[in-house]
Amino acid sequence: MGSTSAHNNGGLGRRDVIKRSAALGLITVPTMGFLSACATSGGGDDNDKKTETPKGETSAENPLGVKNGAALEAFIFKGGLGDQYAKDAEADYKTKYKADVKHTGTQQVGPKLTPRFAGGNPPDVIDNSGADHLDMNKLSSQGQLQDLKALLDAPSMDDPAKKIRDVIHPSTLDKGMHGDKFDVLYYAFTIYGTWYSQKLLDAKGWTYPKTLDEMVTLCGEIKKAGIAPWTYAGKFPYYVHFNLFAQIAKIGGIEPWIAIDNLEPKAWTSNDAVKQVVEHYEELAAKKYFLEGSQGLTHIQSQTAWTRNKAVFIPNGSWVENEAAPTTPKDFGMAVGALFDGTGDKMPTGTLRGEPSEPYIVSAKGKNPTGGMELLRIMLSKKHAQNFATKVKSLTCVQDATEGMTLSPGLASASKAVKAAGPNLISLQLQEWYPALTDEKIGGLTGQLLTGDLKAADWIKKTQAEADKVAKDSSVAKFKRTS
């Protein structure tokens, strides 16, 4: 669970917190290397009393009323994007409010913070990303997440005439809702898709395919050239869902996908696009178009195989450029392609999955939630949005922040793909709302599909059964999507 001393748990010993968390059902036993960590404040003792938030005077410069000298604790996921960009924003907070900022960068957000939430002593602001993240749905339903309406209504750092809600991507506002409460700020804007080396394609005379059938044909040519067409993170097969799920929505249309997001009966089995897409993956597996041994690779290992040209394509998000930088040749020409056309598509050629990512939350029961929101306001300035693009080669939710900047190859390709897609950007909720379902249960089935151990028809039937189980499970908080 990570090393957490007694004083960090509001006086509770770490073992007591873990015992209490287990007894309350707050800790989920991880499967397939994924921890769906749930957290709450337990109930009924002194640890559940909310600390009074230190308040300062509000002003044009300090619209949220941060108290001068009020310390801030930030817990930042340190994965593909690193955490320097957050430290840079924290430095501005520290200077502006003459306050100490305690920073923790980690890949184990859930394991380290489950006892903190259970002990009633969570940090103020958290980048809740990575495989081992906290279950935000449970946190929200238990009142642990700060309502961020005050942040949305605050003036932006760059133009006081514009509120924060006016400068961020509209989908960020939609995705951060739990019911009628906006309590998650997805800071990054990630482009998901099929990533490849433009240099390799050019050298071999290959063209990025437009259709699923063209992809199968090209895979045959690639295999004959002695290269694997595809690789993927077999240890975390939900990476494949970044493409697979969006491909279903592209072909079948967003309405049938909304039924999937809403866990409706027969949403998987009655959608012809599901059959079309899953059978495509079954064919790729049957023809052995995946790099041998991919099922045993982590995301880093699969990305390294890809940057070394052992495989041509990889399903991933736009953080990959930064995460794979240590092994990427300078002239690699990293690029991302749009979703493929199938048969009878409801969405046009060029449709792309692009959506808010990197979820930031502020603890309602932290010591300084006002400061947590102010840190996010600082991060949403053009200065820090551009710093993010420079440092981690990724877009933020701040609209038009990178205009006029010279972008890295992968980011330039992603930006071009977004412009080409226009309004045809797909955003999905299933993986955010029900990660245990998608990443563990369906992920396990996808792993079997890609090794040829599960047929498409069985994948669909079993996926529907798993979704039905979640739909009927009263212990899982449910959310409804209308558009």
11-20, 112-121, 132-141, 218-227 — which is least confidently predicted?
11-20
Closest alpha carbon to 392 in 72, 128, 77 = 77
Domain positions in the chain: 6-188+358-406, 191-354+428-472
Single-letter amino acid code for the residue at 301: Q
CATH 3.40.190.10, applies to 191-354+428-472: yes
Q: How many CA atoms lie within 13 A of 373 on its CB side?
A: 27
In this predicted structure, the answer to whether residue 31 has a pLDDT above a threshold of 60 is no
In this predicted structure, the answer to whether residue 1 has a pLDDT above a threshold of 70 is no
Q: How far apart are CA 420 and CA 416, in angstroms?
A: 6
- The pLDDT, as a whole number, for residue 386 is 96
Kindly report, residue by residue over 374-386, the tens digit of the pLDDT: 999 999 999 999 9
Residue in the block written with tokens 């009628």: 180
Kindly report, residue by residue over 102-117, the tens digit of the pLDDT: 999 999 999 999 999 9
In this predicted structure, the answer to whether residue 96 has a pLDDT above a threshold of 60 is yes
Percent of the chain with pLDDT over 90: 79
Regarding predicted confidence, which is higher, 124 or 432? 124
Q: How many CA atoms lie within 13 A of 473 on its CB side?
A: 13
Q: What is the dihedral of CA 278, 283, 289, 290, to 10 degrees?
A: 40
CB 238 within 8 A of CB 36: no
Per-residue confidence at 13, pLDDT binned at 50, 70, 90? very low
In angstroms, what CA-CA distances link 376 with 250, 309, 388, 432? 33, 39, 13, 21
Closest alpha carbon to 193 in 353, 423, 356 = 353
Domain 6-188+358-406 and domain 191-354+428-472 have a common topology: yes
CB 397 within 8 A of CB 188: yes
- The pLDDT, as a whole number, for residue 432 is 84
What's the predicted TM-score (pTM) here?
0.76
In this predicted structure, the answer to whether residue 38 has a pLDDT above a threshold of 80 is no
Q: How far apart are CA 374 and CA 158, in angstroms?
A: 14
- The pLDDT, as a whole number, for residue 184 is 98
Quote the tokens at residue 415: 């930006």
Kindly report, residue by residue over 275-302, the tens digit of the pLDDT: 999 999 999 999 999 999 999 999 999 9
- The pLDDT, as a whole number, for residue 131 is 82
CATH 3.30.70.141, applies to 6-188+358-406: no
CB 115 within 8 A of CB 21: yes
Q: How many CA atoms lie within 13 A of 109 on its CB side?
A: 27
In this predicted structure, the answer to whether residue 35 has a pLDDT above a threshold of 70 is no
